[in-house]
Structure 1
Amino acid sequence: MTARRATLAGHTYEFPSLVELLAKATPARSGDVLAGCAAESAAERVAAQTVLADLPLAVFLEEQVVGYDEDDVTRLILDTHDRAAFAPVASLTVGGFRDRLLEWTADGDEAAITGLARGLTPEMVAAVSKLMRTADLVAVARRSPVVTGLRSTIGSPGRLATRLQPNHPTDDPLGVTASVLDGLLHGCGDAVIGINPATDSPARTVELLELLDAVIRRYEIPTQSCVLAHVTTTLRALDAGAPVDLVFQSVAGTQAANRAFGVTLDLLAEARAGALELGRGTVGDNVTYFETGQGSALSAGAHLGVGGRPVDQQTLEARAYGVARQFAPLLVNTVVGFIGPEYLYDGKQVLRAGLEDHFCGKLLGLPMGVDVCYTNHAEVDGDDTDTLTLLLGAAGCGFVIAVPGADDVMLHYQSLSFTDVLAARQVLGLRPAPEFEAWLARMGLLDDDGRVRALPPDAPAARALLAAAAP
């Protein structure tokens, strides 16, 4: 490609490749510094953004960030590209695309935005996000609803669902069920009751699936369960006849990174087909769940693109959404601060990454959620997560993840508490998934204003749920 240049204050900056242009245009984050691809100054970043704004969107169909011949994610993205869906923006530059999105947002033209999804590549949406401020990311994502369903409907406007995450350091059934009870009594769990198992044992995976399924069936809770074991373990659970609602897998934006996760596109297709055969849905048939996170490819040493150049972590994150989109997921979430400060250093970087990820996923047609979380050695605190949670709620985020007391005792990181979710719903006027909200009302867990009641532990609803959850 021809080198792209910009001159600022008498200094000329040159960007020899698309990979370098995208990296230098990215808002500052520690992971790109670690990879050696970040802009060396604010001036260089502005120069790159200036060049990027003038780049035609169609270039992303001609030049690859990761080579077509050596990467199955690139092949998937380009081979499934819908040129008819792309047509409304095909003549635009990246900057012109930003302006058009904001025009449609101001006009309330949601159909114009959502209709583009199959015509956009991950690199296109990553590029336009690099030109947007926080308010832009929130406004456009809010106008890009994505609705999915299995036994509850996720992503409808005015709703904020939750993954209830009852992790336990030894997968103890009593500890898990106590957390499930706590979450349900706080009105959480409408997106999924999802456990990160302490081991990847197929037998333990089946036990946990059966435990959650028993609670859901006995009290007819309109939600789904998931044990977030490796997809190969879930395939063994399917073969054993386990009650699998959702097939889970962490995915990344390059073939090499997915190989490091022990997964291939064919394996994901096989697992999805197995879950579909069970026919466990009532309001839809979305049976996959994917987690992603900026920095995952870099942490696996699988972040190099064309010419061996490092690709910025946000562009690779968007490419992971290209993988997820192929398998019609019920849920996708970025675990935004989980890897640590080597990749997202402080609260500002975590906030920016969470909004970028949510924005990019929604533009690509994915049902996005966010695990608003951080490791204890990062420069992040509860004020940062409060801010991100409220901004995500305003942006139409499909779901967030909540754990007892905001402290995940198995994964050893900080997330949201159940009451954090209730506060966000109350402040922003958001409600749970519709089927789950109706169930909360039937169980007597809502007051006359539709808010979750403060119940004593011996209240009838609490006793009923405790009896259901008891091993």
Structure 2
Amino acid sequence: MNLTSTITGSTRTFDSIRELLAKANEEKTGDELAGIAADSEAERVAAKDALSRLSLEELRQSPVVPYEDDEVTRVIQDAVDEAAYEKIRDWTVSDLREFLVDERTRSDDIAEIRPGLTSEMIAAAAKVMSNMDLIQASSKMQVTARCNNTVGTEGTLSFRLQPNDPTDDVESIRHSIREGLSYGVGDAVIGINPVEDNAERTKRLLDVTKEFIETWKIPTQNCVLSHLSTQLEAVENGARADLLFQSLAGTEAGNEGFGIDVELLDEAYEFGAERCTASGPNFMYFETGQGSELSSDAHAGVDQVTLEARCYGLAKRYDPFLVNTVVGFIGPEYLYDGTQVTRAGLEDVFMGKLTGVPMGIDACYTNHIQADQNDIENVAVLLTAAGSNYFITVPMGDDTMLNYQSNSYHDASALWDIFDMRPAPEFEAWLESVGIMEDGRLTASAGDPTVFLEP
């Protein structure tokens, strides 16, 4: 295994694939905080050079966290389709990149090799790609999923309607749902982050959203983003949930920090298959974000891009309806500014789609990060071009409960217009039936929440 690079007369040798992956990463403050980042641009380029010449077989044989020590590694490695792997094991990382950006390569071609990839291979490819490479490759990959409607079909862009309230006030949440629907958003999910994480509050919010969906016969799905065990208890107590949600990390220790493990996720998947109210077959929803493992001191010396890829490898086990990264939310300790947030968003959607999960994004930032609304709108435009399945939207782009900024409900129409896209087909038909959309464009009634005061 050659972990050496000689560029402009200087030879650099890296001690391990783990170190090589970390130093090949684009600049991220999280990697710097962990003490694993390249110490110069020259070292970064040298690491990319050495990484590009590694074979996919070498990457499979050297997971960043040992198989015997980590159940996330075991899930990823055990899921590899050996026949697909045999076709590509001799490829270098550079070969994989060239295949993905080749203008002759299409979604079906990528789907053929996808089962043979591990998360380390996917992360390695991202590290030797430019932003435009990531957009070009991502835009080719179509990953669809179905719950009560279908996301990810060609020419569609979906949105999560996030009607959070600082006190979980039910009537305030209803008003926010009305406003979001009036702008045509909500086909990905009507999903609430509760202030209180308990089964009683979770059940109440699930019942409110389910009642609204049923009253207006909306082809969408509901979810309350409390802890997975809380949701299971709420459903046991009679709550009606279409989707089960959980945040994921890329290491076993990171997931322990979230209070979960593979056994609980497996149990939830079996439970959801029996008890979720969606027509399915997809009913799981996962959220991720670069840096979460570092925040719980569970990164194991691994860079945040590789850990993020491992999150998608774990999520794939549960055939989810939605997966989204939350870039810019954790803070400048992990992604310092708009440039780093943009890069992370492009990496994450690319890695999720190459893994084969229906990937979306919360293009967001907190007030102490060096970014603003223009940065987030840039991310939204770039990731629409890259084929993100969906975005998260909040009223006026300002979530007053979680205290962060994201895309607004009315950003949806701009993105549909720029890229000539539409909502999920079932949802679009419903929007037409209530007079919000006609021939793929919002009507004069759009933006008027009073449309949804009386069914």
Question: Which category describes the TM-score, using the shorter chain as reference length?
Answer: over 0.9
In structure 1, the partner of 2:454 is 467
TM-score by length of 1: 0.94
Q: What's 2:42 paired with?
A: 43
Q: Identity of paired residues, percent?
A: 48
The one-letter code matched in structure 2 to 1:453 is T
Q: How does 1:100-111 map to 2 (within 5 A)?
A: 100-103=99-102, 106-111=103-108
**1:379 corresponds to 2:370:** yes
Which of 110, 133, 136 is residue 133 of structure 2 equivalent to?
136
* Aligned 8 A contact 2:288 2:326 in 1: yes
1:8 maps to what in 2?
Answer: 7
Any residues of structure 2 matched to 1:146-157 within 5 Å, and which? Answer: 146-157=143-154
CA distance in 2, matches of 1:456, 1:187: 8
Q: Larger deviation: 118-127 or 267-276? A: 267-276
Q: 2:78 aligns to what?
A: 79
SS at match of 1:19: helix
Which residue of structure 2 lines up, in the alignment, with residue 289 of structure 1? 285
Residue 67 of structure 2 aligns to a residue in which SS? Answer: coil
**TM-score (ref. length: structure 2):** 0.98
Pick from 326, 329, 349 the counterpart of residue 320 of structure 2: 329
Q: Does 1:428 align with 2:419?
A: yes
Mapping of residues 437-456 of structure 1, within 5 Å: 437-447=428-438, 449-455=439-445
The number of residues matched between the two structures is 455
Q: What is the deviation of 1:456?
A: 7.7
Q: Does structure 2 retain, via aligned residues, the 8 Å contact 1:238–1:275? A: no
1:340 maps to which of 331, 334, 339: 331
TM-superposed CA distance for 1:91, in Å, is 1.8
- Quick check: 2:106–2:141 contact (8 Å CA) kept in 1? no
**Does the Cα contact within 8 Å between 2:2 and 2:54 map onto a contact in 1?**
no
Distance 1:168 1:99 in 2: 46
Does the Cα contact within 8 Å between 1:317 and 1:357 map onto a contact in 2? Answer: yes
Secondary structure of residue in 1 paired with 2:441: coil
SS of residue matched to 1:151: coil
Identify the match of residue 416 of structure 1 among 379, 382, 407.
407
Q: 2:388 aligns with which of 373, 380, 397?
A: 397
Provide the rounded CA distance (Å) in 2 between the counterparts of 1:279 and 1:270: 13
1:205-260 deviations in Å (ceiling 9; x for gaps): 00000000001111110000000010010110121121011110000000000000
Provide structure 1 residue ranges, at least 5 long, that are not aligned to the other structure: 305-309
Amino acid paired to 2:204: E
Alpha-carbon shift at residue 280 of structure 1 (Å): 2.9
Deviation at residue 454 of structure 1 after TM alignment: 3.3
- Alignment root-mean-square deviation, CA: 1.3
Residue of structure 2 in register with 1:307 after alignment:
none
- Secondary structure at the residue paired with 2:453? helix
Structure 2 residue identity aligned to 1:216: I
- Consecutive unaligned residues of structure 2, counting only runs of 5 or more, are none
1:223 aligns with 220
Aligned equivalents of 2:107 and 2:362: distance in 1? 25
Checking the alignment, whether the CA contact within 8 Å between 1:336 and 1:374 is kept in structure 2 is yes
Deviations 1:184-210 (A, max 9, x none): 000000000000000102101000000
Distance 1:242 1:387 in 2: 39
Residue pairs, 1:114-129, within 5 angstroms: 114-129=111-126
* Mapped contact 1:279–1:285 kept (Cα < 8 A): no
The structure-2 alpha-carbon separation of the partners of 1:268 and 1:345, relative to structure 1 and needing over 3 Å to count, comes to same
Q: State whether residues 3 and 17 of structure 1, in contact with CA within 8 Å, keep that contact through their aligned partners in structure 2.
A: no
Kindly provide the amino acid, as one letter, of the partner of residue 177 in structure 1.
R
Contact 2:60/2:120 (8 A) holds in 1: no
